Amino acid sequence: MQGIYLDNNATTRVDPVVLDTMLPYFSDLYGNPSSIHSFGFEVGKAMVNARRQVQSLLGAEYDSEIIFTSCGSESDNTAIRSALEAMPDRREIITSCVEHPAILELCDYLESQQGYTVHRLNVDEKGRIDLDQYQQLLSDRVAIVSIMWANNETGTIFPIEQMASMAKPFGCVFHTDAVQAVGKVPIKLAGSDIDMLSMSGHKIHAPKGIGVLYVRRGARYRPWLRGGHQERGRRAGTENTTSIIGLGKAAELAELHVDTMNTKIKALRDKLQAGILDQISHCFVTGDPEHRTANTLNIAFEYIEGEAILLMLNQFGIAASSGSACTSGSLEPSHVMRAMKIPQTAAHGSIRFSLSRYTREKDIDKVLEVIPGIIERLRSISPYWQQLQKGHVEGFTPAFG
CB atoms under 10 Å from CB of 113, counted, come to 8
Active site residue 107: no
**Distance (Å, whole) CA 126 – CA 290:** 10
Q: Which residues contact 216 (CB under 8 A, 6 or more apart)?
A: 65, 189, 194, 195, 196
Q: Residue 364: enclosing H or E segment and its boundaries?
A: helix 361-380
Among the listed residues 303, 301, 324, 322, the one whose alpha carbon sits nearest the alpha carbon of residue 371: 301
Among the listed residues 180, 116, 115, 184, the one whose alpha carbon sits nearest the alpha carbon of residue 144: 116
Active site residue: 97, 107, 172, 326, which one?
Answer: 326
**Distance (Å, whole) CA 369 – CA 144:** 47
Is the CB of residue 102 less than 8 Å from the CB of residue 73? yes
What is the DSSP secondary-structure string of 325-343? EEETTEEEE-HHHHHTT--
Among the listed residues 382, 284, 380, 396, the one whose alpha carbon sits nearest the alpha carbon of residue 337: 284
Alpha helices in 4-98, H assignment, sequence order: 16-22, 38-58, 72-86
Helix/strand/coil for 315: helix
Q: What is the rounded end-to-end Cα distance, in angstroms, of the chain?
A: 33
**Distance (Å, whole) CA 234 – CA 21:** 26
Residues carrying an active site annotation: 326
